[in-house]
Structure 1
Amino acid sequence: MRIHATTTRLTLAIVGSLALHALVISSARLEMAPPPQPEAPLEARLVPTPPPAVKPLPATAPARKPRTRHAAAKLPAPPIPVVATSTPLFVPPELDYEVTPELEEAPVAGAEPLPTERLALAPESVSAVPVDPQPRKGRIEYAILYGSGDGLPVGRAVQSWEMQDGRYVLASDAETTGLVDVFVPQQLRYVSQGRITSEGLRPDSFLITRTRRGKTEEARARFDWNNGQILYGYAREQKAAALTAGTQDLMSLVYHYHFTLAPPKPGRLRVPVTSGKRFETYEVEVFPEEVIDTPIGQLWAVPMKQLARPGKEHFEMWLAVQYNYLPVRIRHYDRKGAYSGEQIAVEIRVGDAKEMASR
């Protein structure tokens, strides 16, 4: 019985121990995380170090090439210089725009009193010339030359006149020619109208039109002799000034001695002159006669030169004695006093018989 009891107790102890172990193991399984996955085996290899990556630069706009204007195909450069547009093609150059009220200031020191009486055209003493000793019609054709020496031809001008019943009309038309006309085309027209008096010409109106590249500008002067006033300038900005006896325009100044048939005497003159746009006094010196060479032959001529002033253009002209003091050469000087060009007569026609002197 003791053996049996002992056996029974031993069996119970073993069963209890197994039950306890089973409980512990079961409890551990509930709390433990799943076993970690085995890591991939490491593999070591020697590999050459790659070059460092190039860091891209900030995006910038490509450098701009200088813009060039694609003009139309250029013509070959002209072999002659281009006439400056500020220089008139013929007759005395136009000066800076200003009114000179002191038209009767004192004569230049050292000069004899200027014989403005020859140009004085007081309204009360005006009388038409009854007989015209020179032909009633005429025309002069000029070559316009640019530059020093013999000059290069850049244009042509035609001046014409007609008188009837004591009145006159003077006209001048100039235009560029050749390559200058291709690159810098210009046309210039002057028209002077008025009366022929015993003292010379007394203008009533003067018109100037200039066309450049198809654009035309116009200015005119009106001489109100009865009220002693001259109106001049562009239509949009007319100006007025006192009209002094003997006042001329650019055309009547040049042809004054041709219509009076009075030879200009050496000395100095002060003459009020309008260019249509401006009105001021010209100081002109007359020199003794001299012989000059022209395309129509050697001529005796009277030189007349506008006195130069700082910063102003001026002119010089020769009046042919054989042609009743017609202008056969007109020279131009720039604002610095340098010779810039001239126009010279290549043909003269006068009278109904069209007497001609040409090359």
Structure 2
Amino acid sequence: MTLAFLSRHRRLLVLCVCSAAAHLALLQLLAARGRGAFPATPAAAESRLSVRLAPPAPVPVPAAPTSPSPAAPAAVAAPARPRPAQRSAATPVPPPADAQRPAPDAPGTVSTAPSDVGPPLLQMPGRYRVRLPAPVQLTYDLVRQPAGGVPAPAGPARLTWRTDGDRYVLDMDGVLGRLHSEGASGDAGIAPRLAREDGDAGPLLTEFDADGHRVLFRATGAESPDNVGIQDRASVLMQLAGIGLAEPDQVRDTLDVVVAGARDLRIARFKVLGREDVATGIGTLAAWHLAELAAPGMARLDIWLAPERNWLPVRLRVEDAGGSNTQTLSALDSAPALP
């Protein structure tokens, strides 16, 4: 019986030793893993990962639409006067703030006589509205005044404008010389095709090639690109009349028109000086005085346009260092339309 008791205690002792050895081995295994000797399990690796969620981006709020500013009478732009303008070949100088403009109920209102009914309005892109004047013949009294001298009569001057509402022919003889212009109408008003200046050395021709968008100066053999609303030295007078006839409020501040002469082209800028009374052979007429802003030493052209006479030029004056030549309306008659 004593032997059986000792055998049982020996077995318990062996089991305790084995259990202690197993616990010691387990502790060593855990210590080795803590020192990095064994790779962490996927679950342990994942447990060290952290995820940060970014706050949602703010949703942009669309800006409220703004009211467009009123469009200027033109850009160009302009011209984008086409304008400007495209308005013209050069950037116009801002007009003076004190420039006068017609009042809505001033003589800018065209009369309703049958002779005032003309072709439909023509829109110049980005610049002026234009209405061709009805056929008319203007006769003037011409006066020459040398610099520092006394004015003296120099005979009659004439301007004859004929049109069928599409084509036109213009002839004039006066302070600007003997000029001829012919062409048609377009979306920019008068569209010259041929201009002629008669001088002592013979005629000088300027051709307007609308298809090729160029101007040919036969006197020199040169050419230049054309411009929207381009005129010759004669047709510019009736173009200005057509601008006032279509919309009187356009005649204000300055008016810019590209004008082709016999040898080159330039921007003719007319400043509106204000309203004046002009004594003519058919009575005193209220007219708007336009003065060309000429460079020093260059001849200056002044024009008086009478709203109550379809904005026709009732007085013209050319002034240079040698004096001035002025023609003032003496008679106004209808002219036959083109056949």
Query: Closer, same or farther in 2 for the Cα pair 1:299/1:281, shift >3 Å?
Result: same
Structure 2 counterparts to residues 78-117 of structure 1, below 5 A: 104-109=89-94, 111=96
Query: Of 233, 249, 273, which residue of structure 2 is paired with 1:250?
Result: 233
Deviation at 1:145, TM superposition (A): 0.4
Q: 2:158, 2:290 → 1: CA distance?
A: 21
The residue identity in structure 2 corresponding to 1:344 is T
Pair 1:274-2:263 in alignment: no
Pair 1:157-2:142 in alignment: no
The residue identity in structure 2 corresponding to 1:258 is A
Contact 2:161 2:335 in 1 (8 A): no
Q: CA RMSD in A?
A: 3.2
Residue 199 of structure 2 is matched in structure 1 by 210
Deviation at 1:311, TM superposition (A): 1.4
Q: 2:187, 2:229 → 1: CA distance?
A: 12
Contact 1:220 1:277 in 2 (8 A): no
Please give the per-residue CA displacement for 1:154-199, whole angstroms capped at 9, x wherever unaligned. Answer: 2321110111151111111349xxxxxxxxxxx9421111112354
Structure 2 counterparts to residues 30-45 of structure 1, below 5 A: none
Contact 1:203 1:249 in 2 (8 A): yes
Please give the per-residue CA displacement for 1:127-159, whole angstroms capped at 9, x wherever unaligned. Answer: x98xx7x64x32111111011798211232111
Residue 27 of structure 1 is matched in structure 2 by none
Query: Of 320, 332, 344, which residue of structure 1 is paired with 2:328?
Result: 344
Contact 2:95 2:254 in 1 (8 A): no
Contact 2:89 2:267 in 1 (8 A): no
Query: Closer, same or farther in 2 for the Cα pair 1:153/1:222, shift >3 Å?
Result: same
Contact 2:188 2:228 in 1 (8 A): no
Query: Closer, same or farther in 2 for the Cα pair 1:279/1:233, shift >3 Å?
Result: farther
The residue identity in structure 2 corresponding to 1:270 is D
Residue 38 of structure 1 is matched in structure 2 by none
The residue identity in structure 2 corresponding to 1:139 is Q
Partner of 1:288, secondary structure, is strand
Q: Which structure would you say has the larger Rg? A: 1
Query: Closer, same or farther in 2 for the Cα pair 1:119/1:208, shift >3 Å?
Result: farther
- What is the percent sequence identity of the aligned residues? 25
Q: 1:120, 1:233 → 2: CA distance?
A: 30
Query: Of 295, 306, 328, which residue of structure 2 is paired with 1:309?
Result: 295
Query: Closer, same or farther in 2 for the Cα pair 1:285/1:120, shift >3 Å?
Result: farther
The two structures have a TM-score, normalised by structure 2, of 0.57
Q: 2:318, 2:181 → 1: CA distance?
A: 21
Query: Of 177, 180, 185, which residue of structure 2 is paired with 1:196?
Result: 185
Query: Closer, same or farther in 2 for the Cα pair 1:188/1:323, shift >3 Å?
Result: same
Structure 1 unaligned regions, length at least 5: 1-102, 113-117, 123-127, 176-186, 353-359
The residue identity in structure 1 corresponding to 2:316 is I
Contact 1:200 1:257 in 2 (8 A): no
Please give the per-residue CA displacement for 1:228-266, whole angstroms capped at 9, x wherever unaligned. Answer: 1101141xx221011111111111110114345222421
Partner of 1:254, secondary structure, is helix
The residue identity in structure 1 corresponding to 2:213 is G
Partner of 2:234, secondary structure, is helix
Residue 144 of structure 2 is matched in structure 1 by 146
Query: Closer, same or farther in 2 for the Cα pair 1:243/1:121, shift >3 Å?
Result: farther
Pair 1:288-2:261 in alignment: no
Contact 1:316 1:331 in 2 (8 A): yes
Contact 1:155 1:174 in 2 (8 A): no
The residue identity in structure 2 corresponding to 1:194 is G
Structure 2 counterparts to residues 161-180 of structure 1, below 5 A: 161-164=161-164, 166-174=166-174
Query: Closer, same or farther in 2 for the Cα pair 1:110/1:346, shift >3 Å?
Result: closer
Residue 219 of structure 1 is matched in structure 2 by 204
Contact 1:170 1:191 in 2 (8 A): yes
Structure 2 unaligned regions, length at least 5: 1-87, 98-120
Contact 1:121 1:246 in 2 (8 A): yes
Contact 2:142 2:328 in 1 (8 A): yes
The two structures have a TM-score, normalised by structure 1, of 0.54
Q: 2:150, 2:199 → 1: CA distance?
A: 27
